[in-house]
Structure formats: C-alpha cells, structure tokens
Structure 1
C-alpha cells in the first residue's frame, strides 16, 4: 500500500478547534534525538484512514527533517520499523514536549454541549440555550439548527453530547458570548448574526 504524509496545517484549517497542531514554540525546540508523530495516509484508499506513527529525528535543517520510524506499521507493507522518513514541519502532528497552548485545546475537547443531529448534518446552527451545568464537563449549552420539530427533539437518539470544539469549527463567532452565565438564549437574526433573546420564556422551559 503506497502512502504520503498528511499536512497537519491543512487539517487544522478544516477543523481548527478539534485538530491539534504543535505550537511554533514546541517546533522550535525539536532537535536530533527527539521523537515526533506523523500521519501516514494511504494513497487512493478512502476506507483506510492511515496510521499515526512516531519518528526519531536524525537530521534537521530549518523546517526540513529526516528520521527513523520507531513503530511497526500495521497495514503499510512498504514501510518498516527503522526506515528513514523525510518530512517537514507541516507533517508533525505531535511531539514529546509539553505545549504551552495545550490548555486551550483541553477546553475545546473537554467542554461538552448537547447538539442535535440536524446541526451536524447541516453544519449549521441558529439557536443556543444555556442551562445550569449537570457536571464538571457540561457547559450547559444546547445547540439546535432551528429546523427541528418537537417530535425530533423528543427522541433522545437525535441528540448528542459532544465537545464544544465541534460547533466552533462550524462557527466560532459564538466565542463572543460563550462564557455568558446561565440562564441565557441566543438565536440568529436576518443578518445571520447571533443576538440575545431578552424575553425568552424561561418559566415554560424550566417547567417542561
């Protein structure tokens, strides 16, 4: 099976809040003897996502690296343990070093929201409501597309509990009010901008 190295910067552009890339500070620390993780992707094989494997750096000049593969590939027959790999900064998805930006990524992954399947299918959301959190990871936010009907929402299979980074990938303009304390509700206006619903019917909501 032939392969290529994935470009982590392109992956991050597509999913900036859920696909981690090492910071420049960490990349600048890398030297001969350090190990880094690369993503090996199968060529012309949509069913196989590829493998993340560690490579020990043997040479560095600027953004250009050479290293030795320190994993035994599971599915790539033309890759083997100890093989020399040539790569660049854009291929490094992880390192051994503690990253000063990791706390931001922890929030994007660990903070949870309730989201409807319709949001994930449309990649669009137009209504957000924040209730009191139920546990440490729960933000209290529920996110809807605005197209769901009562029958859809009354089926728990149509709702998921996921990382907040997933919807930030869709629209990160909500960062401007994501720390608003409960109880609060927001929806989009005709200009596709979120505004706070000042007269939201909380009595009905809380008594449902």
Structure 2
C-alpha cells in the first residue's frame, strides 16, 4: 500500500491510502484515512527529505544460537537461557550469542531432530515473543508461563 502522510504524532502517522489495494476484499480503499505506526512501514519517500527526521536504526540478528528444531517448525518456545558462547569457530562471520532456545519436552520428543545452530533472526521470525529479553546477560534463563509471558526461571 502507498500512503500519503497528513499528520505525525510521535511514531503514529495519519495517512490517506494513495492506491487501490490488490486484494479485492481489502477493508480499505483508495482515499481512505488510516493510522499506522511508523515501525510498520518499509520505506518512506519524503516530499522534503531535508526536513525528514533521522531514520530509525534497524537492528539485525545474525549472531547464532542453538534452537530445538521443533521451534523452527512453529512450536512455541518453552524455555530459553543464555550461557557463555562456546560454538563460535575461528573464521565464523557471526558469533555465538550464547542463547539456547528450547521447545516443550513433548514437542522435542515427537520432533526427533536435534538442535540447530542458526541466526537469532530465524528464530525471531518464528516466535518473536522473547525479543524484549534478547539483551539479557549471560546466566539469564526464562520459562514461558501458562499466560504466554516469559518469567525468570530458577
């Protein structure tokens, strides 16, 4: 969708839809007013680039982690902890973050695959509910509660 911004309040943009969506059953149409958070935009073409605010820096998550295969198949994360990174090998472009990410014991048993050493971003693409914890220090551990939130584990 293309939007024409008419007002800005913090990160909230009030816009007019500047094109007709391709989806025939879209709930909005050309000319409708919409409100969006700037974080949901991919790019902005500023009418006056010299007056545009500085872009929001984007963080990339290439550092590696060990994750149960079942999590990559859509199983929710059950437990995660951060230990001293020990998987990085000489010459690796991206280092081990120390994160170890587990699915439920039942899902791991059914899955039958071992853990995978992959980029944190791939895990976040499956389940980003733990993103606020990503900078937790080494030694941190979290268990998902019945309400879906993560709590410090003992």
TM-score normalised by length of structure 2: 0.53
TM-score normalised by length of structure 1: 0.41
Structure 1 residue 125 corresponds to structure 2 residue 77? yes
Q: Report Cα offsets for 1:7-42 as digits up to 9, x if no partner.
A: 9xxxxxxxxxxxxxx9424x569xxxxxxxxxxxxx
Listed as ranges, the gaps of 5+ residues in structure 2 are: 1-21, 23-40, 48-54, 89-93
2:97 to 139, 151, 155: 139
Structure 2 match to 1:187: 143
The answer as to whether partners of 2:69 and 2:114 remain within 8 angstroms in 1 is: yes
**Structure 2 matches for 1:147-158, cutoff 5 A?**
147=105, 158=114
Give the superposed CA RMSD: 3.3
Q: Report Cα offsets for 1:29-65 as digits up to 9, x if no partner.
A: 9xxxxxxxxxxxxxxxxxxxxxxxxxxxxxxxxxxxx
Post-superposition shift, 1:150?
Answer: 8.9
**Structure 2 matches for 1:58-73, cutoff 5 A?**
none
Listed as ranges, the gaps of 5+ residues in structure 1 are: 1-6, 8-21, 30-99, 200-208
Structure with the higher fraction of residues in helix conformation = 1
Matches of 1:167 and 1:186, distance apart in 2: 16
The answer as to whether partners of 2:71 and 2:126 remain within 8 angstroms in 1 is: no
